Amino acid sequence: MAEDAVLISVDEFVMDVPSLTLMQIAAKYGIQMPRFCYHERLNIAGNCRICLVEEEAEDKMLLACSTVVEEGDIFFITTEKILSAREAVIEYLLINHPLDCPICDQGGERDLQDQSLIFGADRGRFYEVNKRAVENKDYSSFIKFFLNRCIHCSRCVRFFSDITGTNSLFLIGRGYFSEIGLYTSPNYIVDIFSGSVIDLCPVGALTSKVTAYTLRLWEVMDIKDFDIFDCLCSPIRVEMRGSSIMRILPSSGAYFVENWISDKVRFNFDGYLKQRLIWPFVVYKGRLFYRSWVCCIFYYKKYLSEGWRFPT
Ligand code: SF4
Ligand code: FES
């Protein structure tokens, strides 16, 4: 996208900015702009409608994430009309969202919580309506699906289509019956970067099976590090509670613009404590026997001479 400088006005502040989308300009200049479906590394979808803004020359409201600014544009982003439109969008999203933040693994770190607090109203008008229910799916060994919480932002769908190209998830059905799912068989996500959608999901519909119900954001301490598992030295953030590694997340580094990390990097710590091989098997006359690591190390030659075999 061309970056010629243009002169625009945002809430009566005149700015000399590059010709980008209003959302990109807001991020660049620290202007607070709500977003759910927009993500700086994914294609623009424009389907959550939370980033509404007014432009003087237009009769209707525009989406900040898909509006490229032009010379002389005059935008209003905090008028009463815009603020009430954003409140209405959040109110509609919350009709079906289960509001189970106290038991949600993503409680305290999700966009929907933060943005409802800042841009939402303090009450809704849909108390009597039953919440929509969607059957949970089991498409992955790493990802827990809580599709009742999904707001159909399509970030996960776009990640698998735009970034990895595996098209592992789709938005299937229409209207009330829309849900995240797979058209294809096997009904399983086969993608080495699949864990990234846990970070992308703004509402906790996709959470990590490995860290399920084990941590809260405010209990852990961040340590910046580099990964050594995939020879790319990806910058990572290791979240520790005491001396235990609770979670590994991508971090940004000076030489890494794309900071997606693979599932090997993200979930390898599961083998340090929980899924550690404590009792190795040895094979004797076709049968498996438990032996301790100490036995295996000290009596290795003896076992071999007696016909014991170590499974490979
Ligand atoms: S599962 Fe999450 S990321 Fe995917 S569409 Fe739903 S809310 Fe968006
Ligand atoms: S962030 Fe603009 S429509 Fe979702």
User: What average pLDDT does this structure show over 13-17?
Assistant: 90
- Under the banding of pLDDT at 50, 70 and 90, the label for residue 100 is confident
Is the CB of 51 inside a 6 Å radius of any atom of ligand 2? yes
pLDDT at residue 255, as a whole number: 60
Ligand 1 environment, Cβ below 6 A: 150-156, 180, 200-203, 205-206
Q: What is the whole-number distance in angstroms between the Cα of residue 77 and the centre of ligand 1?
A: 26
pLDDT at residue 299, as a whole number: 77
Greater confidence (279 vs 116) lies with: 116
Ligand 2 pocket mutation, candidates 40, 65, 68, criterion most atoms within 8 A of CB:
65
pTM value?
Answer: 0.86
Q: Ligand 1: which residue has its CA nearest to atom 4?
A: 156
Q: Give the closest ligand to the alpha carbon of residue 180.
A: 1
User: What average pLDDT does this structure show over 63-88?
Assistant: 94
Q: Give the closest ligand to the alpha carbon of residue 158.
A: 1
User: What average pLDDT does this structure show over 78-102?
Assistant: 92
- The pLDDT tens digits of the residues spanning 195-204 come to 999 999 999 9
User: What average pLDDT does this structure show over 171-176?
Assistant: 88
- The pLDDT tens digits of the residues spanning 123-143 come to 888 876 688 889 888 899 999
Instruction: Provide the β-strand partners of residue 62.
Output: 53
User: What average pLDDT does this structure show over 40-53?
Assistant: 93
Is the CB of 36 inside a 6 Å radius of any atom of ligand 2? yes
For the CA of 36, the nearest atom of ligand 1: 8
Greater confidence (276 vs 182) lies with: 182
- The pLDDT tens digits of the residues spanning 226-263 come to 888 878 888 899 999 998 899 999 987 656 556 789 99
Every domain of the chain and the residues it spans: 5-93, 215-276, 277-312
Mean pLDDT taken over the chain? 88
User: What average pLDDT does this structure show over 207-224?
Assistant: 91
Greater confidence (256 vs 68) lies with: 68
Ligand 1 pocket mutation, candidates 112, 132, 152, criterion most atoms within 8 A of CB:
152
For the CA of 47, the nearest atom of ligand 2: 3
Please give the share of the chain, as a percent, with pLDDT higher than 70.
95
Q: Give the closest ligand to the alpha carbon of residue 147.
A: 1
CATH code reported for the domain at 5-93: 3.10.20.740
pLDDT at residue 118, as a whole number: 93
Greater confidence (12 vs 186) lies with: 12
Is the CB of 42 inside a 6 Å radius of any atom of ligand 2? no
Ligand 2 pocket mutation, candidates 24, 37, 77, 115, criterion most atoms within 8 A of CB:
37
Q: What is the whole-number distance in angstroms between the Cα of residue 235 and the centre of ligand 1?
A: 25
pLDDT at residue 270, as a whole number: 87
